[in-house]
Structure formats: structure tokens, C-alpha cells
Chain A
């Protein structure tokens, strides 16, 4: 049910051409923020307008699109963007990471390893890693030009001085191929190692800030640290309560007002896949999926849904 009033994937061909040129430049200079003429999109800034434009410029009719928000396929942002492209491009959509050719993501990298030929599109709120340390854009550009990145370490120094460890836990800066320092968008630092030497193309779009940058496949991205305070990933020290996974990134879900809580994989596809393969966590025995589980709080059970 493609809406015929729009060009394929909403944007006109000239705009896509302009965005593709920015993407190519970004891929040619890994980690460099390429300015582009960001368009008004039919969604507010902060909802992924940068990512949507990059996705629109990359989409072809044969693509399989997956959209995730904080790892989940069924949250508001993911659902609305997926529907947007179903309507304006008519492409096939999927929730399976391995099946998708383009994955647009907000704040996570899927747990399932990506493969060659896949494109991962990040939604970026603030592309400039130095922004909160140096408010002047002219100055930060100069600092990138001259590779003056000492200030980035001042931030990490302050973390250790104040908290005893590097407390930055998301949007953790990386140095790309020994040249540009890049903000990997607000992904948890748990995901940082997956940025480096990834076989997929990783594209970053910031709509409001009008910047596109990229990591080509197999690009080195090193998380910044100190010799005596090396970079460490972090996650909640639990297993997933639904699928029992030990090594996936977890969300904490408050289940009642008596202090009850559970930890579940933030990557719903990964969690569902494991449960379908027979894995079960502490509370995962009788639940079908995290979506069903969420519905259970509202009294909607799988059988009841049909009856409604």
C-alpha cells in the first residue's frame, strides 16, 4: 500500500543525490562530519530525522528494512519510522537482524553480529563529540582539523577525578583510524567494541545538526582511555530474565511497587530468537515474547487478543 503521492522513500531524487554525495564523502573520510542540507521531515527533530534521510537515500525497492529503538522493534520511534517507509517506499520490513539489508537504529547496535552487505543507520542527536567541552563550532572544527583532541581526555580526567572511574557510559568517544574523534551517537559503551572492524557499513545521520558521518566496513574505532584506566564495557550484572542470555545488554524493568524488577535483553529480536531456540531465563518459562509480556500487564493475553 505505497502512497503514490510521494516519490519512492519520500525524498525527491535531487535530495537523495545530495545526501548520497555526503554519505560517499563520509565513507571516504571515516569519522569526518560532512555537512548536508538536511530537509524538513514529517516528524519532529529528535525523532530520527537524520537517520530517516540517510535511510531514504540508501533504500532500494529490494531492501529489507529493520528499525529499532533502544534495541526494540516495537517501541514508538521504531514503529512510526517502519510504518513511514512501508507507506512511502513499500519496502519489505523485518524484525530479524540477519534478514535485514538496512537497519535504522536509535541508541543500540544489534546483538546478532552484522554481515557484509548490511547497512546500519544511526540516528544522531549531537554529532560533535567536543560540543559540551567547547561550545564554539568554529573552534571545534579547527580542533578536528588540527587533531587537537586533548580536551576529550580532560572530560575523561574529570570523570575519574569525580567518580573514581570513567563514568561516561554512553556516547563514548572513539578515535577512527587514528585520525578523527567521533561521537558514536548515544549507544551504550557496551556496544563500542562492535563499532570497530564491523563488516557492515555504518552511517550516522544528524538531522537538526545537518551532519552525516560514516564508518566504512572493517574500520578501526578505538575508544579513548587512559593507560592506567583502560576502557571497559559495562552492563547490568545479571542474566536476561526472559532468555537467560549472559552477554547481552539489559534493560531494567520495574514490575511492581514492591521493589520487584526484572532484567531483559534490550535487543528484542535477539531475545525472541533465543527463546524460540528453547533458552529460558528466570521468568521466561511461560512467556512467549517481551511484547506478550508487556501486554500481560494490561491484561491482554495471547488468547484474549483474538477475542477482542
Chain B
């Protein structure tokens, strides 16, 4: 596992002019950004603004129509499917909003965490189990739950299990789609705390899609605001949230309820 303690000069992920259309409609259009090692990029916007489309294009779940994606100097869109899928289970990770999409509900927690290890060739049961227990500990799941199925877990635990399952192979780039969606606020707070710790300790680069401004405020270094498939504003998180320039960002920031 490589630790990136400082932000280096070459971007880990470089995206240029990424466009995805659904027939005549725009999914996302002309999105460009650089992501540096150890950096957390937040993408916010209302429903239908193209943030999830953008994320699934980046992660290779959908094929972009136009544009370039370079990961660590390699052209992602020109890769063979074998290479792309290998990248998807070693260097990359994807945390779904609904843990049921990212977990195998019929397989024990240990098996869920071990799957990525076995997919990259681990063949020692004791080692796999040891790593699984270790990772359950790191996401605050008790070791004696290792043989329970995710269906016996609460929503927050399922989400933490999904994170453990994704991080076990030591990825460098993590895509997160609304990781705190559907959780109550106290569980959200703990999950965010956990995520922040893991991101810092492991030096992960993260692209996090959310509509919750509090989440990006806590996690993201930089922020991209999307509307109708286009990026309307981007910059440092605090800068964008405290001094929004675009009318839509101003609306978004002012829409947050103050308790």
C-alpha cells in the first residue's frame, strides 16, 4: 500500500471534455478536471444534474461518448476490457449509495471482504480471513460478526462493510456515490468521521458524489458544482461554499436548512 502524504505534481486522474449523451439529451457535457494523489473531489448538484452519469463514466460502468480519461498516465478509454476490469478490482474502488448494490447479500461479511483479495489471486484461507477480520475492525465492525451475512447488519454497518470490502486491496482511487444517503444523522456523522480517517491514513484519492453539502464540507478539498449536465463552478470547497459566484451555487448554498 502506497502512502501519499503530500500532494505531488502529476495528476492521478486527468479528465478532458468528457461527454455522455442519452440520445438527444445530455447526461454530462464537456467535463474537465484533474485529480491529484491524496485529493478528495466533491461533486454536488441537484437530482438529474449528471453527477451520477459522470461518476459511472469515470468508473467505466458506462462508456463516455467523447473526451479523454487518463489514469496514472494511461488512457482508460483505450484500454481493453480485461485491463479496465483489473483496474476496477485493484487500483479503483466504487462505493454505491445502496450497500445492497455493492455487497453480496448471500455471502458472509468475511467472504464479502475477501472477494476482491481472491479476485486478484489470494489463495490462502487463513490470510484472507485474517485480512477480513482486520478490515472489519478498521470499519468498527466486531470480529465476531465476520461469519454473519450482511442481511443481518444494520444499514450503517452494511455501508461500513461495503467500504471495507472496497478498500481491502489497497486502491488508490475511490469513487463514492452518495455514501451517506439513507442513513440517519448520527450514523452519518460516524461514517463521515471514519471515512475522513481512512482517506487521510491511506492517502486515498476520492471522487465523491453527493447532494449533501455538509458531507463535502467535511471531506472534500475541492468542489465541482453541476447543473443540467455541465460544471457551473469549481474551486476549493470552502471558497465555493462561502463565496458562491454562480447563481445556481448561491441557490444551492442558501437552500441548506439551518437548525
Residues of A whose CB lies within 8 Å of any CB of B are 146, 148, 150-151, 153-154, 157-158, 160-162, 225-229
Contact present for A227 and B124 (CB under 8 Å): yes
Taking a contact as CB atoms closer than 8 A, the residue among A150, A161, A229 that contacts B115 in the complex is A150
Smallest distance from the beta carbon of A174 to chain B beta carbons, Å?
15
Contact present for B110 and A157 (CB under 8 Å): yes
Taking a contact as CB atoms closer than 8 A, the residue among B81, B108, B110, B118 that contacts A153 in the complex is B118
Binds A, one of B8-16, B70-78, B125-133, B206-214: B125-133
5 A–B contact pairs at CB < 8 A? A148-B119, A154-B114, A162-B147, A225-B123, A226-B125
B37 within 8 A of A: no
> Chain A contacts of B118 at CB under 8 A?
150-151, 153-154, 157
Smallest distance from the beta carbon of B88 to chain A beta carbons, Å?
10
B111 within 8 A of A: yes
Tell me the nearest residue of chain B to A157, going by C-beta: B111
Contact present for A148 and B85 (CB under 8 Å): yes
Given A150-B89, A158-B111, A229-B125, output 10 extra A-B contacts at Cβ < 8 Å: A146-B81, A146-B82, A150-B115, A150-B119, A154-B118, A157-B129, A161-B147, A162-B108, A225-B123, A227-B123
Smallest distance from the beta carbon of B81 to chain A beta carbons, Å?
7
Task: Report how far A228 CA is from B124 CA in the complex, Å.
Answer: 6
Question: What does DSSP make chain A's interface, helix, strand, loop or mixed?
Answer: helix
B232 within 8 A of A: no
> Chain A contacts of B85 at CB under 8 A?
146, 148
Mark out the residues of chain B between 68 and 111 whose CB falls within 8 Å of any chain A CB in the assembled complex.
81-82, 85, 89, 104, 107-108, 110-111
Q: Chain A CB within 10 Å — which of B89, B111, B120 has the most?
A: B111
Smallest distance from the beta carbon of A80 to chain B beta carbons, Å?
37
> Chain B contacts of A153 at CB under 8 A?
118, 123
Task: Report how far A21 CA is from B235 CA in the complex, Å.
Answer: 62
Mark out the residues of chain B between 182 and 241 whose CB falls within 8 Å of any chain A CB in the assembled complex.
none
Residues of B whose CB lies within 8 Å of any CB of A are 81-82, 85, 89, 104, 107-108, 110-111, 114-116, 118-120, 123-126, 128-129, 146-147
> Chain B contacts of A226 at CB under 8 A?
123-125
> Chain B contacts of A228 at CB under 8 A?
124-126
Smallest distance from the beta carbon of A139 to chain B beta carbons, Å?
11
Across chains A and B, which 9 residue pairs bring their CB atoms closest together, nearest first? A150-B119, A153-B118, A150-B118, A226-B125, A227-B124, A157-B111, A158-B111, A154-B115, A161-B147
Contact present for A154 and B123 (CB under 8 Å): no
> Chain A contacts of B89 at CB under 8 A?
150
Task: Report how far A228 CA is from B147 CA in the complex, Å.
Answer: 19
Known contacts: A146-B81, A227-B124, A228-B125. The answer to whether A158 contacts B107 by CB under 8 A is yes
Tell me the nearest residue of chain B to A132, going by C-beta: B106
Task: Report how far A148 CA is from B82 CA in the complex, Å.
Answer: 9
> Chain A contacts of B123 at CB under 8 A?
153, 225-227
Task: Report how far A63 CA is from B111 CA in the complex, Å.
Answer: 49
> Chain A contacts of B111 at CB under 8 A?
154, 157-158, 161
Task: Report how far A154 CA is from B120 CA in the complex, Å.
Answer: 12
Smallest distance from the beta carbon of B85 to chain A beta carbons, Å?
6
Task: Report how far A162 CA is from B146 CA in the complex, Å.
Answer: 11
Smallest distance from the beta carbon of A307 to chain B beta carbons, Å?
59
> Chain A contacts of B119 at CB under 8 A?
148, 150-151
Task: Report how far A226 CA is from B81 CA in the complex, Å.
Answer: 28
> Chain B contacts of A229 at CB under 8 A?
125
> Chain A contacts of B146 at CB under 8 A?
161
Smallest distance from the beta carbon of B166 to chain A beta carbons, Å?
14
Task: Report how far A153 CA is from B116 CA in the complex, Å.
Answer: 11
Task: Report how far A287 CA is from B8 CA in the complex, Å.
Answer: 84
> Chain B contacts of A162 at CB under 8 A?
108, 147
Smallest distance from the beta carbon of A99 to chain B beta carbons, Å?
42
Task: Report how far A151 CA is from B89 CA in the complex, Å.
Answer: 13
Task: Report how far A68 CA is from B82 CA in the complex, Å.
Answer: 42
> Chain A contacts of B115 at CB under 8 A?
150-151, 154
Task: Report how far A228 CA is from B146 CA in the complex, Å.
Answer: 19
> Chain B contacts of A225 at CB under 8 A?
123
Smallest distance from the beta carbon of B231 to chain A beta carbons, Å?
33
Task: Report how far A148 CA is from B104 CA in the complex, Å.
Answer: 16
Tell me the nearest residue of chain B to A156, going by C-beta: B125
Tell me the nearest residue of chain A to B81, going by C-beta: A146
Task: Report how far A81 CA is from B170 CA in the complex, Å.
Answer: 55
Taking a contact as CB atoms closer than 8 A, the residue among A146, A157, A227 that contacts B114 in the complex is A157
> Chain A contacts of B114 at CB under 8 A?
154, 157
> Chain B contacts of A161 at CB under 8 A?
108, 110-111, 129, 146-147
Task: Report how far A56 CA is from B146 CA in the complex, Å.
Answer: 51
Contact present for A157 and B147 (CB under 8 Å): no
Contact present for B104 and A154 (CB under 8 Å): yes
Tell me the nearest residue of chain A to B120, going by C-beta: A150
Smallest distance from the beta carbon of B96 to chain A beta carbons, Å?
17
